[in-house]
């Protein structure tokens, strides 16, 4: 696949320096690091190597990637490695896709409290799934779930929600049998929505009482307990969006979905259309419209485009893919082996890497198809550091 005509890196390189100066004091260190990484990705600043073809003597320069998890160019390899590790976790059952979304007022609050509220979104969504599934009135089983955090809508607005990938069943309370859900139906979304709303508001109130929420600007008055309680009151009665999609068409469809969603960033380079004097134009999907009219284009000023992109920079060390229940990392192998025994399904074959170890990677020549060898290593530029 060739290089896209326009990349997010091009926008940052062209308009980023002036915008950073204008936003001095308003951008976090994490956001500045993301901008720098994307601007330098696959350029001489990060070093690389010169490749030489022994057959046609062509030479090619390949620069290193930044490997930042917010970079549109660096996620495909990471996603592929993650998927290879997840293949052994798939079970021969139906899989369901459940989405938990925060209402707009809490989404606004979450921007200044990302670590606390995103973590709460993960934990309460997982608790809701596990609690309703364990209820004998619904499934009466211990289930597992993989949750993936997305913080954006198609237009790069701030829209925190988690996508849940859930096997269609679970272990009975005594662990002696597999309890399958009704075919084509997992759990009632209305029941999930009510419990998710109640538990999230309860935990949000606990965070407020513990002083773990920060309030700025239009939200500064919410620091008072009575005002915060009044602000929450309408949210206790509004509808919180929880919905379940149709079950996946087999385990391979689950992997295909995960390959698109697990390592996605706010916008891919493929969605960019052009950058000119009018601004940055990109494709987006309007989910309120129907049919082909959903596909639209939007033009933003470069400053607004960069602002929206950086809205979705996650706190350092925050994991955006998490596993719960039967799929929790601590006991996943044993639990899955137990489930496969109950389903009379074969255990996955151990992965044996028989690839011979080589000193340097090999590449194929674009001109003649011959083998390219590394002829020279290009060292990365030393970072410029301020004096102590």
What is the per-residue pLDDT for 1? 47
Average pLDDT over residues 6-14: 94
Mean pLDDT of the chain: 87
HEC sequence for the chain: CCCCCCCHHHHHHHHHHHHHHHCCCCCCHHHHHHHHHHHHCCCHHHCEEEEEECCCCCEEEEECCCCCCCCCCCHHHHHHHHHHHHHHHCCCCCEEEEEEECCHHHHHHHHCCHHHHHHHHHHHHHHHHHHHHHCCCCCCCECEEEEEEEEECCCCCEEEEEEEEEECEEECCCCCCEEECCCCCCCCHHHHHHHHHHHHHHHHHHHHHCCCCCCCHHHHHHHCHHHHHHHHHHHHCCCCCEEECCCCCCHHHHHHHHHHHCCCCCCCHHHEEEEECCEEEEEEECCCCCHHHHEEEEEECHHHHHHHHHCCCCCCCCCCEEEEECCCHHHHHHHHHHHHHHCCCCCCCCCCCCCCCCCCCCEECCCCCCEEEEEEEECCCCCCCCCC
Encode pLDDT of 105-132 as tens digits: 999 999 999 999 999 999 999 999 999 9
What is the per-residue pLDDT for 52? 83
Encode pLDDT of 289-324 as tens digits: 776 678 899 999 999 999 999 999 999 889 989 999
How distant, in Å, are the alpha carbons of 1, 40, 42, 273, 344 from that of 9?
18, 8, 10, 14, 50
Beta carbons of 177 and 186 less than 8 angstroms apart: no
Encode pLDDT of 222-231 as tens digits: 999 999 999 9
Average pLDDT over residues 201-216: 95
Q: What are phi and psi of 243, to 5 degrees?
A: -140, 155
Residue whose structure tokens are 């990471």: 78
How distant, in Å, are the alpha carbons of 50, 62, 69, 109 from that of 212?
51, 46, 27, 12
Beta carbons of 143 and 314 less than 8 angstroms apart: no
pTM for this entry: 0.86
Estimate to the nearest angstrom the gap between the alpha carbon of 133 and the chain centroid: 25
The residues, any chain, with a CB within 8 Å of residue 38's CB and separated by 6 or more, are 8, 9, 12, 66, 68, 70, 71, 72
What is the per-residue pLDDT for 141? 94
Encode pLDDT of 144-177 as tens digits: 999 999 999 999 999 999 999 899 999 999 989 9
Beta carbons of 259 and 83 less than 8 angstroms apart: yes
Q: Is 359 a residue whose pLDDT tops 60?
A: no
Encode pLDDT of 182-201 as tens digits: 887 888 999 999 999 999 99
How distant, in Å, are the alpha carbons of 43, 112, 178 from that of 139?
53, 38, 11
Query: Is the pLDDT higher at 358 or at 17?
Result: 17
Encode pLDDT of 128-146 as tens digits: 999 999 999 999 999 999 9
Sheet with 95-101, edge to edge strand ranges: 242-244, 95-101, 158-167, 144-152, 321-325
């Amino acid at each position: 696949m060739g290089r896209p005509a326009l990349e997010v890196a091009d926008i940052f390189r062209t308009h980023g320096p002036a915008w950073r100066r204008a936003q001095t004091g308003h951008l976090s260190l994490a956001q500045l690091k993301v901008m720098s990484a994307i601007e330098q990705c696959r350029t001489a600043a990060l070093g690389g190597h010169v490749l030489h073809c022994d057959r046609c003597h062509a030479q090619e320069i390949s620069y290193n990637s930044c490997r930042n998890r917010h970079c549109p160019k660096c996620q495909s390899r990471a996603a592929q490695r993650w998927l290879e590790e997840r293949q052994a976790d798939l079970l021969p059952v139906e899989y369901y896709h459940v989405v938990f979304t925060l209402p707009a007022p809490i989404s606004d609050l979450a921007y200044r409290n990302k670590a606390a509220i995103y973590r709460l979104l993960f934990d309460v969504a997982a608790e809701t799934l596990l609690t309703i599934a364990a209820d004998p009135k619904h499934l009466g089983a211990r289930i597992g779930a993989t949750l993936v955090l997305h913080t954006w809508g198609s237009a790069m607005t701030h829209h925190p929600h988690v996508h849940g990938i859930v096997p269609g069943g679970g272990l009975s309370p005594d662990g002696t049998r597999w309890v399958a859900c009704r075919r084509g139906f997992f759990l009632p979304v209305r029941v999930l929505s009510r419990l998710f709303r109640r538990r999230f508001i309860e935990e949000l109130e606990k965070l407020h009482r513990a002083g773990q929420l920060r309030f700025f600007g239009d939200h500064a008055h919410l620091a008072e307990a009575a005002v915060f309680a009044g602000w929450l009151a309408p949210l206790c009665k509004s509808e919180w969006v929880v919905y379940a999609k149709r079950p996946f068409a087999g385990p391979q469809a689950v992997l295909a979905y995960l390959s698109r969603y697990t390592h996605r960033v706010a916008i891919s380079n493929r969605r960019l259309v052009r950058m000119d004097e009018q601004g940055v134009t990109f494709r987006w999907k309007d989910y309120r419209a129907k049919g082909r009219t959903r596909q639209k284009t939007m033009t933003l000023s470069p400053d607004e485009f960069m602002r929206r992109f950086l809205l979705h920079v996650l706190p350092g060390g925050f994991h955006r893919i998490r596993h719960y229940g039967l799929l929790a990392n601590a006991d996943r192998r044993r639990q899955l082996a137990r489930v496969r025994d109950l389903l009379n399904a074969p255990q996955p074959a151990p992965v044996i890497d028989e690839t011979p170890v080589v000193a340097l990677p090999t590449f194929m020549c674009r001109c003649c198809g011959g083998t390219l060898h590394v002829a020279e290593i290009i060292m990365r530029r030393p970072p410029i550091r301020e004096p102590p």
